[in-house]
Each structure stands twice: as C-alpha cells, then as structure tokens.
Amino acid sequence: MMEVTADYIGDARFEVEARGHRLVCDQPRDNGGSDAGLTPPEFLLASLASCAGYYAAQYLRTRGLPTDNLKVRVTAEKATQPARLDPFQIEITTPELNERHIDGVLRAAKTCLVHNTMLGCPHIDVVVHADALTHA
C-alpha cells in the first residue's frame, strides 16, 4: 500500500509527506495562496509526467538507447460539471529514434501506473474523521 499525508500549515498551504520526503502544496497568489508550491492539479500532472517518463526511460535504457534530453510535458484543460481536468496530453521528447523505437517508447509510456489508474476510473472513498480532541 502507498500512503501520502497532507498536513494543513496555513492559508492555502499543505505539507505533503511520503516516505520521509516533504513537499509544499499551495495555490497561486490570485487564488488565495502564497505560491510556495505546486497546486494539487499540478501535482497530478507532475505525477503523470514523471511516471510516463520513467517507463520511457526504462525502455530506452534496457535497449542501450540514449536517454539524454528525455523530456515529458503533460498538459490538461479545466472542464466543468463536475470540475475536473480533461483532456490530458502527454508529449515525450527523446533523442532521435527509428519508428520501431518510437512505437516502443509510446507503448512503454502507456504502461505507466498513473496513466493506467486514470484510465480505469478508480473507485475513491472519502471518509471524514472528526477528532474529538479538537472540539472545545
């Protein structure tokens, strides 16, 4: 099981922790934040980009192909009713490759855990625990 926690640290900021690594999540100034970190949707795009990039790099490395200048760009539009991001686009830039390896990188990126999770429309439970110690 994977676990990430987000502790509220004031204004629009949260400290996000996973396996001892800490990041700050915030909102831009024009949305009430202090712009001290990525927004939640930007974390989602970063997760998708780095996951697809990991799989692309694995494909290239296992075949002895260069990984220098490997770059992944993910974009998404805001949609409404309900509020969400849709559609997403993943663009992968690699060193020069022949058509066979371009197809291989594409197949590899599509095996990304985050990509496949998002395609599968995962079930998400939301539970609220009201801590009795915080009530006065």
pLDDT the model gives residue 132: 74
Mean pLDDT over each residue of the chain, to the nearest integer:
95
For residue 49, what are the CA distances in angstroms to 31, 56, 82, 95?
A: 24, 10, 24, 17
pLDDT the model gives residue 42: 97
Delimit the domains of the chain by residue range.
1-37, 40-119
pLDDT the model gives residue 82: 94
Helices and strands in the chain, H and E counts:
3, 5
Closest CA to 57 of 46, 66, 45, 44: 66
| pLDDT > 90? residue 133 | no
Tens digit of each residue's pLDDT (9 = 90 or more) over 16-43: 999 999 999 999 999 999 999 999 999 9
What dotted CATH number matches 40-119? Answer: 3.30.300.20
Cα distance between residue 133 and residue 72, in whole Å: 45
Q: DSSP 3-state assignment of 5?
A: strand
Amino acid, res. 111 = T
Tens digit of each residue's pLDDT (9 = 90 or more) over 97-132: 999 999 999 999 999 999 999 999 999 999 999 987
**Which tokens belong to 71?**
């770059």
Can the peptide bond before residue 82 be classed as cis, meaning omega within 30 degrees of 0? yes
Amino acid, res. 113 = L
pLDDT the model gives residue 20: 97
- Mean pLDDT of the 46-66 span: 98
| pLDDT > 80? residue 8 | yes
pLDDT the model gives residue 136: 53
